[in-house]
């Protein structure tokens, strides 16, 4: 089954949990353990990527991750130098909140021939960068102004535009290490207006907040930083249980 079909199936049942692994931050020796820890404690999938590549560990780490787990391994590219065959799918992000053509279509054009070459499942994703209370790597690297955090109508308009353009997912991201995650009100407003699944990430630091965001309408909750700082199996399980408790 294609990763996207699995995601649709999950989204119809209950909220789901994705762990984000930044390949630059992982020692090759620890990568396998970390990926398995996430799977064994309830993660529904792994996102692999980051805003910038600071070393050459991406492909070797991705390969290890892919060989270590059965849950979907999905490339989450900050830049499209992250295309690789060692994954089940790739989120083909277009930064719909940006007005920088490189982020809207330029990077995707660069990536497309390689995606075709590898036969990689590509999931067109409307990527929305939301104001986070601090400056995040993704805002800086994409040279885009984030969407103001109280402007729910603007968020809805961007998400709808993504859906009408034929994108398959909405990713609402306050950016890694965000001070504030996207508000419940904004998530609910987007949820009420679009039919495609919503991924929510950036600044989720406790299982309780993760559950709250899932209740507000996010179908997939992503955590990155919090596990990088503390890769505790108990914490991963608490996140997974809190998110899975939200039924559709």
Q: Which residues bind ligand 1GP (CB under 6 A)?
A: 20, 173, 175-178, 201-204, 222-226
Residue whose CB is nearest to ligand 1GP in the complex, by number: 201
- Rounded least distance, CB 116 to ligand 1GP, Å: 26
Taking the complex as a whole, the smallest distance from the CB of residue 176 to ligand 1GP amounts, in Å, to: 4
Which is nearer to ligand 1GP, 62 or 164 (by Cβ)?
Answer: 62
- Nearest approach, Cβ of 113 to ligand 1GP (angstroms)? 26
Q: How far is the CB of 46 from ligand 1GP (least distance, A)?
A: 12
Nearer CB in complex with ligand 1GP: 111/178:
178
| Nearest residue to 147 via CA among 106, 125, 178 | 178
Of 97 and 223, nearer to ligand 1GP (C-beta) is 223
Between 197 and 201, name the residue whose CB sits nearer to ligand 1GP: 201
């Amino acid at each position: 089954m294609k990763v996207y079909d699995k995601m649709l199936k999950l989204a119809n049942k209950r909220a789901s949990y994705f762990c984000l692994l930044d390949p630059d931050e992982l020692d090759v020796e620890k990568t396998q353990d970390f990926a398995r820890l996430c799977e064994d404690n309830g993660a529904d999938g792994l996102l692999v990527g980051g805003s910038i590549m600071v070393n050459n560990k991406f492909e070797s780490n991705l390969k290890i991750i892919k060989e270590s787990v059965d849950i979907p391994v999905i490339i989450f590219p900050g830049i499209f130098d992250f295309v690789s065959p060692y994954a089940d799918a790739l989120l083909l992000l277009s930064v719909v909140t940006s007005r920088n053509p490189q982020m809207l279509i330029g990077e995707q054009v660069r990536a497309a021939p390689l995606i075709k070459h590898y036969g990689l499942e590509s999931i067109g994703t409307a990527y929305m960068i939301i104001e986070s209370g601090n400056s995040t790597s993704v805002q800086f690297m994409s040279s885009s102004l984030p969407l103001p955090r109280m402007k729910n109508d603007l968020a809805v308009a961007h998400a709808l535009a993504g859906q009408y353009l034929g994108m398959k997912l909405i990713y609402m991201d306050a950016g890694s290490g965000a001070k504030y995650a996207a508000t419940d009100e904004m998530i609910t407003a987007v949820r009420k207006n679009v039919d495609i699944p919503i991924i929510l990430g950036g600044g989720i630091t406790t299982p309780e907040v993760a559950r709250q965001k899932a209740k507000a309408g996010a179908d997939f909750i992503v955590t990155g930083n919090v596990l990088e700082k503390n890769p505790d199996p108990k914490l991963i399980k608490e996140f997974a249980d809190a998110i899975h408790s939200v039924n559709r």
